[in-house]
Each structure stands twice: as C-alpha cells, then as structure tokens.
Structure 1
Amino acid sequence: MAVLQDLKYRQWFRGADVDGDGFITQRDVRLMSERYIAARGAAADAATAHRLTEGMDAFWSNVIAPMDQDGDGKVDLREMTEGFRRVLTDPALYPQQIEPVTDCFLDLSDLDADGKIDQVEFRQIFESVADVPSEDCAAVFAALDLDGSGRLDRAEFHKAVAEFFYGEDPDAPANHLFGRLAE
C-alpha cells in the first residue's frame, strides 16, 4: 500500500506548499495560518489568530523542519514522503504524533465552540488552509459524517485524520481529506 500512502502524502504536500514553489518552508506554514485567519475574519492580533500561529509554528518545528535532510530550510516532496514513511509507521503513536495538531485545527475550526465541526466550518478550514476545492470538501464531509448528524465530532475528525495518515484502505473516504487523490 506504499502507492496509496505516496498519493496521500503528495496530496497533502500540494496543500502545504502554499506558494507552489515545490517546497514546504516555514513561510508556507505561516501562509496557511494567515489564509485561515483571513477566512475566519479574525484580526491578526486576536487570541484565536495567535493560538493558530503558535500551533503552526510548533507544527513547523516539530513535524516539518526535522524532515529537512539537507538543512536548506525547506522540505521537498521526497524529504516529506521519506519523513512521513519514517515517522508515521504505527497508528498507536497517533496521540503523540498527530493528535495535538488535529485538536488545534478542530478547536479553531469550531466557530460556534460546540465541540463539533459542521460542513461550513469543515469547508472553511480545508478550503482556506489546504486549498481543497469546495466540491471535494462537501463530498468528503458527507462521507466522514459517520452518524449522519451533519457535524463531525472529535472522534469522527480524529478517525478521518488517522485514516488519512496511517490507513491502507484504498476505498476509505478519508483518503480524500486534503482533496481528491490524483493518480
């Protein structure tokens, strides 16, 4: 299933390479934050904006920067794929590896602070941060809403993110969490 993982990693990379230069840099990570802050209509100095910026800086430092094998301050697709393959090997490590960032995004996406993400909130974060087209957001959201409530609770959201990064089922809807996979 390495082919499926590579497709998912490449799709994730496309969203994270905000400026489209073929690398993920700290600037790209900051641009993701800025796009989301702008989409939410939050002031750059608001507590939410500050929390997101801090979370994304930690994401850069703890997740992306260590993948920079040649020390040039940027991570290309090969470095990122090899980094994910090296680190994301055991789903039991999800709580340490990915859950904190996922919780941050969930909390920041939850505009009405009800502990769940509705379709509008889901679209807002994935469209603005990961550049996922609206139509993909709607289809993925519907597939991930396991209980049909019209909202993703924390467990559903975590299940989707874990499936994206660790899953090997080619038919899992979470494969398209960051946009439709390009073969």
Structure 2
Amino acid sequence: MIVFGGVFAVLVLLAALLFISIYNGLVHKRNAVENAWAQVDVQLKRRHDLVPNLVEVVRGYAGHERQTLTAVTAARAQALGAHTPAEMAGAENALTGALKTLFAVAESYPNLKASQNFAELQEELATTENRIAYSRQYYNDAVLTYSNAIQTVPANFIAGMSGFTPREYFQAPGEERGPVQVRF
C-alpha cells in the first residue's frame, strides 16, 4: 500500500507540474500576442502623428484642395477611434486611400514636391508604413502561435478551463485581397 501511495503521489505531482508548465506557456504566448498588438498600435500612432504634419505642409501649398485634406483628417480620426483588429484594418485602409489621394494631389504642385519638409515627411511616412507591415506580420505570427497552443492537446483542456480565448488576426479588407489591376 505504501508503494501505491508513493506512486500515486508522484503521478499527482507530475500532473501538477505538467499543468503548471502548460499554463505558464499559454500565459507567455498570450502575453506575446498582447505585446505584438501593442507594437502595431505604436506604429499606427506614429503614422497618425505624421498625418497632421503632412496635411499642414500640403495645405500651405495647396490650400484649395480642401476636400482631399478633409478626407485625410476624417480618415485619421476614424483610425484613431478603431480598437479591434477588424476595425483597425478597415480604418487604416481608408486612411491609406486618403493618403494616396493626398500624394496624387502633391504631384500637381512641383514646389510642394520639391519642399524638403514634404520630402522628409513623405520618407518618414514610407518608413512607418514598412514598420506597420512588419508589426502586423509579427502580430499575426504571435496569434498563430497562441492559437496553435490553445487548440492542441493537452493544452486545449487547460486553455478551456483557464479562460484562454482565441485572438483575432489583423487581416486586409476584402478588396485588398484580390488581384492588383494595372492600367497604362
């Protein structure tokens, strides 16, 4: 009986250690997702901070392009109000479209294009766009790792008991998934 009690105690101890190990791994993966989301947020904030400066520079050269400037400002406000990955993807898509229009307007103003301030802001925005793309990819990779962890055996039992829930991927809106049309 003593041997059976000792074996049982060892099995309970091993089960407890396994539970703790799996639980801690899930916590680490969930925190990695939250950290990755924070990095996306940091890059989007950086982008949002650049937009008013860009609008002001363009306004100085092309003040009568009010509709374009208003669209950029409205898209930025919408992006600042988004919270979930789906909301952010839609809002950021609208902001990207508005910025493309702004840069198209800038093409009509040679003095604006030659402005060092405009060129620096444009370069800063391009760098930020690259950082945003990387941050989104990193976030989605963290979500994938976390999703795999909470959906595979035996961690899925512990995840279910402990309240670990799936996270949403940062996905491109539907129209960005289709083929790119090039017209000459």
TM-score range, shorter chain: 0.3 to 0.5
TM-score normalised by the chain length of structure 2? 0.36
Bigger helix fraction: 2
Q: Which has the larger radius of gyration?
A: 2
Between Structure 1 and Structure 2, the one with more strand by share is 1
User: With CA pairs under 8 Å and 6+ residues apart, which has the higher RCO, 1 or 2?
Assistant: 2
Length-normalised TM-score, structure 1? 0.36
